[in-house]
Chain A
Amino acid sequence: NAGVTQTPKFQVLKTGQSMTLQCAQDMNHEYMSWYRQDPGMGLRLIHYSVGAGITDQGEVPNGYNVSRSTTEDFPLRLLSAAPSQTSVYFCASRPPGGEAFFGQGTRLTVV
């Protein structure tokens, strides 16, 4: 069982570069979310989706875009990377009302 798969695991970007963090799940979950984890701030919700074609903003959406064309995939795009976006990013999927299953995370450094 693959569960939630995130790629890449590590990434270094220069300020101003763009990139896409990939997330795929094979559990047919309706809900998918992206979080960033920073020391002392817990996990903060960036964007989330309740189904294919439906996305919404979370707590800290600025500087990030998402789309959900299929149930399985939920990529996160950084449009113009900034040092403030240095963080660990987690993708999660879950059924309605159920527990979230997390990927192993992407450690992103913006220099």
Chain B
Amino acid sequence: AQSVTQLGSHVSVSEGALVLLRCNYSSSVPPYLFWYVQYPNQGLQLLLKYTTGATLVKGINGFEAEFKKSETSFHLTKPSAHMSDAAEYFCAVSGPGNTGKLIFGQGTTLQVKP
């Protein structure tokens, strides 16, 4: 079974500051991990994903995440926040192969202050 915990329902940073959104997962099989972003009144858009291979994954809009198996973590970072990054962010986990379930965390709302 898979589950996801996002630490911190709200994160506030100043424009230009480091963004760090935390995600820990639980999975009985090697996980596939995803980060999605949701802007107000819109659907979800993929930021990045980890399936196999390189553990540091780069995504769109300058975001990246590192898969750390020993810590069961997949934290999302961006070196310098922009006002347009304000949104809700979701971490998700699925198993490999024919595993239909994609489980999401509770979400983290990112506020960017000028």
Query: Which chain A residues have a beta carbon within 8 Å of chain B's beta carbons?
Result: 31, 33, 35, 40-45, 48-50, 56, 58-59, 90, 92, 94, 96-97, 99-100, 102-105
Contact = CB atoms under 8 A, between A and B. Distances in A.
Contacts, number: 62
Contacts of B57: none
Contact of B44 (A49, A58, A59, A90): A90
Given A41-B106, A42-B107, A104 B34 contact: no
Interface string B12-46: 00000000000000000000101010000011101
Interface of B: 6, 9, 32, 34, 36, 42-44, 46, 49, 51, 90, 92, 94, 96-107
Cβ-closest 3 pairs across A and B: A50-B100, A42-B106, A102-B43
Contact of B102 (A40, A41, A56, A92): A92
